[in-house]
A = this chain, B = another copy of it.
Amino acid sequence: MPNVSPGDMVLLLALDRKRYLIQAKPGDRVHTHRGWLAHDDLLGRPLGRTICTQLDEPFLALEPSTYDLISLLEREGQIVFPKDAAQILLRLNLFSGRRVIEAGTGSGGLTVALARAVMPQGRVYSYEVREEMQTRARRNLARLGLLDVVELRAGDIATGFQETDVDALVLDVREPWLYLAQARAALKGGGFLGIFVPTVGQVSEVLATLPGQGFGDVVVEELWQRPWKPVAERLRPADRMVAHTGFLTFARALSAEDAAEWWVPGDKRLMRRLRVREALAARAAEAEDETVDAPPAGEDE
């Protein structure tokens, strides 16, 4: 992206920190709280430049990052914040070529992050029952050229997902505990599940429902982001910050052939149960199969 072309997304930053996200179009103007800017001032020139409104108010023109896009996309209602979206991408092992399901689509903020992580060869299957939300998400994705990475689906996930053997699945819905069996059916063995909910009651419901659904290695966490005032000689944190966005729950799909129904490190009752079961299984296996005890050719770590 050396110079701005028609259709490019541009972030405009005012001196008072207000931000505008536009799509460059010859002849257009963007109206700000400090006057208007001509898109033609941007087109054909590099980003990182200061341009001024007709009132001589300066704006810095920048390439919007995925972080900016999630923050600024046209939206409605609660969204997954960039800091949480970032963590989800690494926790769910998303990279080029991966196939991931998302429900619901919402305004498409997380969808953008998922699509950029798995493109060009991967695929995002994004489910949403509310039609007007899907329309908004489609518009947002179209502006960013991401529609060929994302399949927008309108179905009700209570009846299951169309895909199977997907690498990862994110539930960003009000009652995620209702869809755990469907999620397990869609995931590959060892696949990654991520759940985003705002209240602790929802986390409790998820944790109460997960055992017996074929998931293990459950992690619950929250992330905070504290901004600092970027002033060398009076360095200190900002005065106010976001206190809460949501709680993140992660788990792994157990393989269908696995004996365990639930696997939470530290759950002592489980440990006892599992040990008995596994000890029995291991002994039964030993009786039939001697290869386990064959002398190894080498060792690792």
Whether, in the assembled complex, A166 has its beta carbon less than 8 Å from a beta carbon of chain B, the answer is no
A86 (CB) vs chain B CBs: closest residue: B86
**Alpha-carbon separation in the docked complex, A48 to B263 (Å):** 10
Which residue from B121, B257, B293, B297 sits with its C-beta under 8 Å from A26? B297
Q: Are B48 and A252 in contact (CB under 8 A)?
A: yes
Q: Would A296 and B21 be within 8 Å (CB), given that A240-B242, A243-B237 are in contact? A: no
Which residue from B2, B66, B82 sits with its C-beta under 8 Å from A95? B66
Contact with B along A273-301 (1 / 0, CB 8 A): 01100110111000000011110111111
Whether, in the assembled complex, A52 has its beta carbon less than 8 Å from a beta carbon of chain B, the answer is yes
Whether, in the assembled complex, A103 has its beta carbon less than 8 Å from a beta carbon of chain B, the answer is no
Q: Would A244 and B235 be within 8 Å (CB), given that A252-B62, A259-B50 are in contact? A: no
> For A191, what are the chain B residues with a Cβ–Cβ distance below 8 Å?
48
Which residue from B200, B242, B299 sits with its C-beta under 8 Å from A31? B299
Q: Would A117 and B93 be within 8 Å (CB), given that A217-B13, A220-B230, A225-B223 are in contact? A: no
Q: Are A226 and B221 in contact (CB under 8 A)?
A: yes
Q: Are B274 and A189 in contact (CB under 8 A)?
A: no
Q: Are B92 and A230 in contact (CB under 8 A)?
A: no
Contact with B along A184-202 (1 / 0, CB 8 A): 0000111110000011110
Whether, in the assembled complex, A41 has its beta carbon less than 8 Å from a beta carbon of chain B, the answer is yes
Specify the main secondary structure of chain A where it touches its partner.
mixed
Which residue from B49, B82, B89, B297 sits with its C-beta under 8 Å from A27? B297
Whether, in the assembled complex, A47 has its beta carbon less than 8 Å from a beta carbon of chain B, the answer is yes
Whether, in the assembled complex, A46 has its beta carbon less than 8 Å from a beta carbon of chain B, the answer is yes
CB proximity of A255 to chain B, nearest CB, Å: 4
Number of copies: 4
Whether, in the assembled complex, A100 has its beta carbon less than 8 Å from a beta carbon of chain B, the answer is no
> For A234, what are the chain B residues with a Cβ–Cβ distance below 8 Å?
199, 201
**Alpha-carbon separation in the docked complex, A192 to B78 (Å):** 28
Looking at A38, A65, A253, A279, which has the most chain B CB atoms within 10 Å of its CB? A65
Whether, in the assembled complex, A236 has its beta carbon less than 8 Å from a beta carbon of chain B, the answer is yes
Contact with B along A13-33 (1 / 0, CB 8 A): 111110011110111111100
Q: Would A282 and B16 be within 8 Å (CB), given that A30-B300, A239-B242, A243-B238 are in contact? A: no
Q: Are A17 and B266 in contact (CB under 8 A)?
A: yes
Which residue from B227, B252, B282 sits with its C-beta under 8 Å from A219? B227
Q: Are B203 and A260 in contact (CB under 8 A)?
A: no
Whether, in the assembled complex, A160 has its beta carbon less than 8 Å from a beta carbon of chain B, the answer is no
Contact with B along A85-106 (1 / 0, CB 8 A): 1110111110111000000000
Looking at A13, A225, A240, which has the most chain B CB atoms within 10 Å of its CB? A225
**Alpha-carbon separation in the docked complex, A192 to B256 (Å):** 44
CB proximity of A166 to chain B, nearest CB, Å: 12
